Amino acid sequence: MRLINTHTLDLEDYNKDIPPYAILSRTWEDGEEVTFQEWHRDRVGVSPKPGFTKICNVCEQAQLAGLAYVWVDTNCINKSSSAELSEAINSMFVWYERADVCFVYLSDVTSTFVDEELGEEGPSPSPLSVSKAKKHSSISSAR
């Protein structure tokens, strides 16, 4: 399993003794997500992409939750390796299950929905965090 260090933004590989981590769930937006290859090749070059901003924001949210690592499929999986992609697809359910918290990026949720339906304030778009350990949800700014 490959995780993003929330402090350095470096990718780190773990086979055993996987540290506590957050996971990001969201819909993919064509041409906006950062791939594994782009992350390794030129992190500065991909910084204008909205996907890079999502990754930085989920790293900040994870740090606030006391976590030093996050998993994001688009840049933690080397999709050019069919073996790695196959293993990731087969392991994904377990990775989500074992995550300490899952941040859900809701790109189409308006602040009106957040205010009226959820009773919390926060600009749109927002990540929704769902923690199995704490059994709560919260909304906070993503951009």
Per residue in 50-71, pLDDT tens?
778 888 889 999 999 999 999 9
Buried b (16+ CB within 10 A) or exposed e, 74-107: bbbbbeeeeeeeeebeeeeeebeeebbbbbbbbb
Global pTM value: 0.72
Per residue in 74-129, pLDDT tens?
888 888 888 888 887 888 888 888 999 988 877 666 555 555 555 554 443 444 44
Domain boundaries, the chain: 2-139
